[in-house]
Amino acid sequence: MGRAPCCDKSKVKKGPWSPQEDTKLKDYIHKNGTGGNWIALPHKAGLKRCGKSCRLRWLNYLRPDIKHGEFSDHEDRLIYTLFSSIGSRWSVIAAQLPGRTDNDIKNYWNTKLKKKIMNFISTNHQTEKPLHHLESVNCPSSNYSYPTSSSVTAVDNHPVLPSDDHGYINVDMETYRVKDNSTLFMLEGDAQAADCSSNSDGRWHHVYGSGAFDAHNNMGGLKTSNSYMGIDGNYSTMEFSLEEFKKLISTNLCSSNTNNNLNVFVDELKAEENIMYY
């Protein structure tokens, strides 16, 4: 037996909201707030709607701080970066984009952004770089969990990076060769993170902390145990060769300390051995 429905569906209006209904809901909430009970709200507000429907309408559309309109390139990159690392946890992603709702982002991803990115990866134009660098992102919470190989799927012919049961990717660096200087790697840990990019001569530089959330100290900034990472958003820039870079990663992955485990994602690989973490 399933759980009882939250309201009598036969007495409740469904489908698109009319402007009159919107006004009623807005007026009621402006005067009284939500009262901490969405189920009781429609009756009090004189709406023949399910409480959940009212909640959704308010949170996704009527709320005054909602941002409507086009997504910026910055937002595109942020969504892509977060989706690459945590998958379709839209509410977590939305929390990083002020004014955007999970529903909005989900719709945007499914209808536009995914195609845009797939198109970019498959056509692989040197001159076109809609997502040409990764955003620095904060780890959303202390119980940040990574998708494991069982929860990720290959897109087209792009293989999926293997990961262990804890979601940490087993990096076989031999698999990933830098074909040109536009290849990007992103490192991310549960309490600290680093971005890497390469400069024109193909050497790695800008290995820096991204101001990740430190779950253990409950504050921004990075652990200082790794000298190449910046502290409190102050990036310390060092140059790394690819070999040094590989060593850096393997050192961290070998650590038994969770804080030092790094998760590796590959973005925008432009070689025939393209790898997509999805």
98 binds DNA (CB under 7 A): no
| Residues 103-142, mask of contacts with DNA (x by CB under 7 A) | xx-xxx-xxx------------------------------
| Residues 58-77, mask of contacts with DNA (x by CB under 7 A) | --xx----------------
Q: Give the tokens for residue 256.
A: 């038994």
The vertex-136 CA angle with 143 and 61, nearest 5°, equals: 75
56 binds DNA (CB under 7 A): yes
Phi first, then psi, for residue 221 (nearest 5°) are 105, 175
Instruction: Give CA separation, 177 vs 185, 198, 243, 263, in Å.
Output: 11, 13, 11, 18
Count of chain residues binding DNA (CB under 7 A) = 40
| Among positions 23, 27, 40, 74, the unique one binding DNA when judged by CB under 7 A | 40
135-154 residues near DNA, rule: CB under 7 A: none
Closest contact distance (angstroms) between CB of 56 and DNA is 5
Q: Identify which of residues 89 and 246 has a Cβ nearer to DNA in the complex.
A: 89
The rounded Cα 4 to chain-centroid distance in angstroms is: 34
Segment lying near DNA (by CB under 7 A), choices 55-63, 128-136, 195-203, 262-270: 55-63
**Do residues 223 and 191 touch, judged by C-beta distance below 8 A?**
yes
CA distance 162 to 193: 20
Closest contact distance (angstroms) between CB of 88 and DNA is 4
Query: What is the number of residues in the chain?
Result: 278
Closest contact distance (angstroms) between CB of 208 and DNA is 29
213: left (phi over 0), alpha (psi -120 to 50) or beta: beta
| Among positions 72, 91, 224, 234, the unique one binding DNA when judged by CB under 7 A | 91
DSSP letter (8 states) at residue 109: I
**Do residues 111 and 118 touch, judged by C-beta distance below 8 A?**
no
Residues forming contacts to DNA in the complex (CB under 7 A) are 2-4, 6, 9, 13-17, 34, 36-40, 49-53, 55-57, 60-61, 88-92, 102-104, 106-108, 110-112
